Amino acid sequence: MASRGKSLIGKVPLVILQLAIAFLVLAPFFWMLSVSLKPANEPFAIPARLWPDNPTLENYILAFRPEFRRYFLNSIIVSGATVLITVPLALLAAYSLTRYQFRILSVFLAAVILAQFFPAGAMIIPIYKMVKAANLLDTYASLIIAYITVTLPVAIWMLRGFLTRVPKTLEEAAAIDGARPLRAFFDIVIPLARPGIVATTVFVLIVTWQEFLFALSFTSTKEMRTLPVGMNDYIGQYGIRYGELMASSVMVSLPVIVIFFFLQRQFVSGLTAGAVKG
């Protein structure tokens, strides 16, 4: 570490920088929270007041209206189904990529990684037309299929990083002991790759929870909209009821923030393993 041996005083500028960064990151969150707790009858002063005089939860109660609950439910269904399908599919694909050495598999991996960078904007028109032709507009299925497709490449890539580190010799030992390959997969590979599975799950969840473009294009009725699209609708709808808008923002963000902070360590190592080690 570069700063070893420096006196405490020498560290003061760095601590100030730390505080500046914390401020940059937290100021918008602070503002979101402050406005969400502001009672409707407390007028907006100009320049704006930093913290409400009488903080209240009334905005949260108002914002948690039936349509918001519906958006919430839709988001949970779509994200949940995507995670439940993507992660096992990616696990199987990543497993065969690390355990079998066929040329076609490395071609496949390259193709999958390349696909990860396709602009969603460039694909949206044909995908929309497909969804429409299949009569799937305004359905969960359309979103779930689209989300599985866009999250699969990254999920395969992340899991592959973890599975390469699960030594093959363990499975071979199990095979000698008479275990069938599938059995070795469930009893040895999956438990050892668990941190990777957790990291991938969190990643897929974060991506699908906030996905906007497909949800905006594929859904048109209030019953089928997910949280991000619903939030976008709110901007005009709420007019100057910023308190409710911010309260719903807090409620939308909370689930991912909570999950993320519980599983943070595993997630960060999963994300950086691939990028740093190539």
Partner 1 sequence: MAYGFMLPAAILVAGLMYWPMIDTFRESLYATTFLNPNPTFIGLKTYEQLFGDSTFWQIVRNSIIWTIGVVFLQNVGGFLIALLLNQKLPGQGILRSLILLPWVLPGVVAAILWRFMYDPQLGLINSFFMRLGIVEHGVGWLAEPSTAMAAVIFAAFWKGFPFSTVVFLAALQNVDQEQVEAAKIDGAGSLRRLFDVVIPAIWPVAVVNVLLTTILTFNYFDIIYVLTRGGPLNATAIFPTRIYEVGFGQFKFGEAAAYGSLSVLVLVLFVGLLLLVQRRQVKAA
Residues 231-270 that bind partner 1 (CB under 8 A): 231-232, 235, 242, 245-246, 249, 252-253, 256-257, 260-261, 264, 268
Instruction: State the minimum distance, in angstroms, from the CB of residue 8 to partner 1.
Output: 10
Q: What gap in Å lies between CA 262 and CA 251, rounded to an integer?
A: 17
Helix axes 242-277, 227-237, angle to 10 degrees: 140
The residues in 49-88 that bind partner 1, with binding defined as CB under 8 A, are none
Q: Determine the residue type at 214.
A: F
Out of 63, 78, 148, 166, the residue judged to bind partner 1 by CB under 8 A:
148
According to the binding rule CB under 8 A, does residue 43 interact with partner 1? Answer: no
Residue with tokens 């071609």: 107
According to the binding rule CB under 8 A, does residue 123 interact with partner 1? Answer: yes
Contact indicator for 271, 199 with CB cutoff of 8 Å: yes
Binding window for partner 1 (CB under 8 A); candidates: 57-65, 66-74, 167-175, 206-214 = 206-214
Is 148 strand, coil or helix?
Answer: helix
According to the binding rule CB under 8 A, does residue 140 interact with partner 1? Answer: no
According to the binding rule CB under 8 A, does residue 33 interact with partner 1? Answer: no
Q: What gap in Å lies between CA 210 and CA 192, rounded to an integer?
A: 30
Q: Which is nearer to partner 1, 55 or 255 (CB)?
A: 255
According to the binding rule CB under 8 A, does residue 141 interact with partner 1? Answer: no
Q: Which is nearer to partner 1, 56 or 210 (CB)?
A: 210
Out of 57, 73, 111, 173, the residue judged to bind partner 1 by CB under 8 A:
111
Radius of gyration of the chain (CA): 24
Q: What gap in Å lies between CA 76 and CA 60, rounded to an integer?
A: 19
Question: Residue 30: which residues within 8 A CB-CB, separation 6 or more?
Answer: none
Output the CA torsion sign for 38, 43, 46, 49: negative
According to the binding rule CB under 8 A, does residue 181 interact with partner 1? Answer: yes
Instruction: State the minimum distance, in angstroms, from the CB of residue 29 to partner 1.
Output: 7
Out of 31, 51, 186, 262, the residue judged to bind partner 1 by CB under 8 A:
31
According to the binding rule CB under 8 A, does residue 26 interact with partner 1? Answer: yes
Q: Which is nearer to partner 1, 224 or 231 (CB)?
A: 231
Give the number of residues in contact with partner 1, rule: CB under 8 A. Answer: 92
Q: Which is nearer to partner 1, 175 or 257 (CB)?
A: 257
Q: What gap in Å lies between CA 211 and CA 55, rounded to an integer?
A: 32
Q: How many CB atoms lie within 10 A of CB 9?
A: 7
The residues in 149-178 that bind partner 1, with binding defined as CB under 8 A, are 149-150, 152-153, 156
Q: Which is nearer to partner 1, 85 or 170 (CB)?
A: 85
Please choose, from the candidates 134, 158, 156, the residue with its C-alpha nearest in 3D space to the C-alpha of residue 145: 134
User: What distance, in Å, lies between the first and last C-alpha atoms of the chain?
Assistant: 24
